[in-house]
Amino acid sequence: MLNELDAALSSENRYHDSEAIPDNENKQVEATMEPAYKILIADDHPLFREAISSVIASGFEGSEIIETDDLDSALEITRENDDLDLILLDLNMPGMHGLNGLITLRNEAPTIPVVIVSAEEDKQIVLQAITYGAVGFITKSSPRAQMTEAIQQILNGNVYLPSDIIRTSKESSHRRTRSDENLISPELLNSLTRRQLLVLERMAKGESNKQIAYNLNIAETTVKAHVSAILRKLGVHNRVQAILSAGDVDFSQYLKR
């Protein structure tokens, strides 16, 4: 594990050395590099925090990792770091009270994706966590490579679920789509500004806030403000619900106005 952390630190040092590269070459390097992420790990088990930190350091080089061990401090960190890309949240750490802690955190920071990382494997709890706003559920028994893939999917803007409940989730989504072909009414879409429509369109494509900011040439904080406004106007509680609702929308007809 120490070797992996040393390798990650060496890679990060090489990244900082790029400052010596001439501006034009440096811009080309930056354009091709994968973005670094800022990730909060909230878990009261030091060994697991160390393990998941190692997964992030080796799988997402250059990322900044913040650690905490209870809900109150996690809430404080989200207030002080509104540029977090992801929160990995344990269901059973102090202050959580199960899914109530997730609800509190989602209300406090609705634009920051939250993933439950837990030893719990009950299907009902997993589905409830998604209903309450989590964008993924990773079991602590998952192999290292599977954890890396799950985190990558989530950072790409997708929802990650354990393989044994994906079928249940897909069947439920399919039934919902067939029963309601227009999940977002034209009136609600017309209430969005052009910029909000562009942000929602890219959210529906699975882009993260960082990717949206880059593609629309705006600040990431501006993207988060747009996401908050979109959730409010559409009457949904989280990013996942907004993405599912916008899945079949033809944005071109609304962007012509």
Q: Where are the domains of the chain?
A: 34-164, 180-250
Query: pLDDT, tens digit, for every residue of 219-231?
Result: 989 998 999 999 8
- Mean pLDDT of the 170-191 span: 60
Region 192-204: mean pLDDT is: 90
The reply to whether the predicted model has a pTM over 0.75 is no
Sheet-wide strand order for 114-118: 64-68, 38-42, 86-89, 114-118, 136-139
CATH number attached to the domain at 34-164: 3.40.50.2300
What pLDDT is attached to residue 165? 60
The pLDDT of 61-85, averaged and rounded, is: 95
Is 50 exceeded by the pLDDT of residue 30?
A: no
Q: What is the mean pLDDT of the chain?
A: 79
What type of residue sits at position 220? E
Same fold, 34-164 and 180-250: no
- CATH architecture classification, 180-250: Orthogonal Bundle (1.10)
